[in-house]
Structure 1
Amino acid sequence: MIIYKTDEQVELMQISALLVSQTLSEIAGVLKAGMKTEEIDKLAKEFIHDNGAISSFYNYNGFPSQLITSVNDVVVHGLPGKEELKDGDIISVDVGVIKNKYHGDHAYTFIIGDAKPEIIKLVKTTKESLFVGIKEAVVGKRLGDIGFAIQQHNEKQGYGVVRDFVGHGLGQSMHEDPQVPNYGRKGTGMLLKENLVMAIEPMINMGTKDVFMERDGWTVRTADGKPSVHFEHDVCVKKGTALILSDYSIIEAAEKKNNNLNTSYY
């Protein structure tokens, strides 16, 4: 069932989405080689709680952590732990919060230190494709238009577009209808109407689109061991131009100030 939001509900959702952005900004300010992913999880827990919210992810279907840290060939659902980040790593940090009964949920991929040009290109292209998809999230377009735009932008670079995991509707539940694939055909799928709120989230692999799940039941890796990148925004369908509820600008500002992060692709 599709749940369209009122303008007042969209405003509440934007508060939740911006708290996710603020959390990611806090993380962007401290990320560096040698940092353990469990330290990121602890920081996020404290910041989210200090701002009157709770993690959407913690204990969701048994998920054991506050947020998701997916490093290098981990596509999604990486578990924070004692793993130390290394120079040249990429890490996708996915954060979800519940505030005012509504969820915010989005992700950002960071580059630690010096990285190979081909990895920097993958990060740049994936991030670009998110905004290419968002341009299609307007009244009168169809769901397949979003996926088609993201798919074309990445596949023309030879990248694999993950099929097994997709974006989703968002509201008082973290996962609502519709599913929002990062692939598709133009002019197909449901007609987009005003105040549909979605998490649009391209998950793009340097090599094959195929993935597998580790024995922990959570961690999803690329089948060929090549890197994967994940970006995600919370988006509300509007006439003419989509309303992005989350805010990358504050994340990018913190990222640029942190000399341990690579922003050379900007």
Structure 2
Amino acid sequence: MLAYPEGVIELKSPNEIQQMRPAGKFVGDVLTALKEKAAVGVNLLELDELAHQMIREAGATSCYIDYHPSFGASPFGKVLCTSVNDAVLHGLPHDYTLQDGDLVSVDFAVALNGWVADSARSFVVGTPRPQDLRLIEATEVALTAGIEAAKVGGKLGDISWAIGEVAHEYGYSVNLDFGGHGVGRTMHGDPHVPNDGRKGRGLKLKAGLVIAIEPWFLETTDEIYTDPDGWTLRSQDGSRGAHSEHTVAITPDGPLILTARD
């Protein structure tokens, strides 16, 4: 494992990136299963239990259940983030039954064989509203743009700029409090990857850098607040949010999506 000169950001060898693939595939498979399970009448706790069961069967370890950063009120206690409608990040699964038209964002991260993968997707349960589909589309287009900018020789700001340009084209503002991050043996590491920025600025992108790229947008604001549960982040004005994320390795042959879904 190599590192940047400052010794803070670790670069993975080609062999280590290959070792990360099983974790990435597992995370992608779980998110696919969760989307298939989610339906009108399904409880968020049922989704969390399905993910928990799959974790146990795979011999993986949840990155969330004992997670207790400074911004969290207590250890998270669940294995999924399930954010519904005006919730967009860190949604703590609770006793809520999905309703027709709910916009659901699911974020999932595990360690498998010592390596972490992290990914998120948004979808609508039941009858979709056109504006929700547009919001989800914007995060997915921004994710694709950010991944395409993750090239050896580029700058970290290229990724942020690409994401931000898509947001602005769709008419959304961007919150910079939370964004992408380094991934490896732990879920969150350097560098931080903002969802807006200046092209050609910041860290030089090198082969072996593995990052989670995760655009998330709110429909009519970029202001958020923390729910009384101490975790769930909601829009200040009640507008809906969407979130898309992949774990990506930067390689000499271009970006490699480790959490690609079938």
Pairwise same-fold verdict (TM > 0.5): yes
Indicate which of 58, 81, 87 corresponds to 1:68. Answer: 81
2: CA distance, partners of 1:242 / 1:25: 22
Partner of 1:46: 53
One-letter identity of the residue aligned with 1:194: A
Q: State the Cα deviation string for residues 155-186 of structure 1 (Å, max 9, x = none).
A: 12211222111110000011110001111000
Query: Match for 1:147: what amino acid?
Result: S
What is the rounded CA distance, in whole Å, between the counterparts of 1:232 and 1:223 in structure 2?
Answer: 23
Q: AA paired with 1:44?
A: A
How far has the Cα of 1:107 moved from its partner? Answer: 0.5
**Alignment partner of 2:91 out of 69, 78, 90:** 78
Find 1:235's aligned residue among 248, 252, 258.
Answer: 248
- Structure 1 residue ranges (4+ consecutive) displaced by more than 4 angstroms after TM superposition: none
Aligned to 2:160, which of 138, 142, 147?
Answer: 147
1:25 is aligned, of 25, 32, 36, to 32
Cα displacement (A) at 1:187: 0.4
Residue 63 of structure 2 is aligned with which of 41, 56, 69? 56
**Paired residue for 2:222?**
209
Using the alignment, how far apart are the partners of 1:34 and 1:52 within structure 2? 30
Partner AA of 1:210 in structure 2: E
Offset, 1:125: 1.5
Task: Provide the rounded CA distance (Å) in 2 between the counterparts of 1:207 and 1:237.
Answer: 33
Taking the aligned partners of 1:154 and 1:57, their CA distance within structure 2 comes to 28
Which amino acid in structure 2 is aligned with residue 196 of structure 1? L
Matched residue count = 249
Q: Structure 2 counterpart of 1:30, which letter? A: K
One-letter amino acid matched to 2:54: F
Query: CA offsets per residue over residues 9-39 of structure 1, 9 Å max, x none?
Result: 1112111111101111111221101111000
- Give the secondary-structure state (helix, strand or coil) at the position aligned to 2:27: helix
The residue matched to 1:161 in structure 2 has which SS?
coil
User: Match of 1:215, SS?
Assistant: coil
Alignment match, 1:260: none
Q: What amino acid maps onto 1:48 in structure 2?
A: I
Between the aligned partners of 1:155 and 1:83, the Cα distance in structure 2 is 33
Matches of 1:8 and 1:140 in 2, distance apart? 21
* Matches of 2:200 and 2:235, distance apart in 1: 30
Q: CA RMSD in A?
A: 1.0
Q: Could you tell me how far 1:119 is from its partner in structure 2?
A: 1.1
Give the fraction of aligned pairs with identical amino acids, expressed as a percent. 40
* Distance (whole Å) between structure 1 residues aligned to residue 169 and residue 192 of structure 2: 24
Equivalent residues of 2:224, 2:235 under 8 A apart: yes
Q: SS where residue 70 of structure 1 aligns?
A: strand
Residues 149-168 of structure 1 aligned to structure 2 (within 5 Å): 149-168=162-181
Q: Are residues 1:3 and 2:16 paired?
A: no
Aligned counterpart in structure 1 of residue 150 of structure 2, from 127, 137, 142: 137
Contact 2:92-2:229 at 8 Å conserved across structures: no
Q: Is the partner of 2:251 in helix, strand or coil? A: coil
In the alignment, the residues of structure 1 paired with residue 126 and residue 137 of structure 2 have an alpha-carbon distance, to the nearest angstrom, of: 15
Distance 2:252 2:175 in 1: 29
- Residue 240 of structure 1 deviates from its aligned partner by 5.0
**Match of residue 256 from structure 1:** none
Amino acid at match of 2:9: I
Q: List gaps (5 residues or longer) in structure 1.
A: 251-266
For residues 178-205 of structure 1, what are the alpha-carbon distances to aligned partners after superposition, in whole Å with 9 as ceiling and x for unaligned? 0011110000010000010000000111
State the TM-score, normalizing by the size of structure 2.
Answer: 0.93
SS in structure 1 of the partner of residue 110 of structure 2 = strand
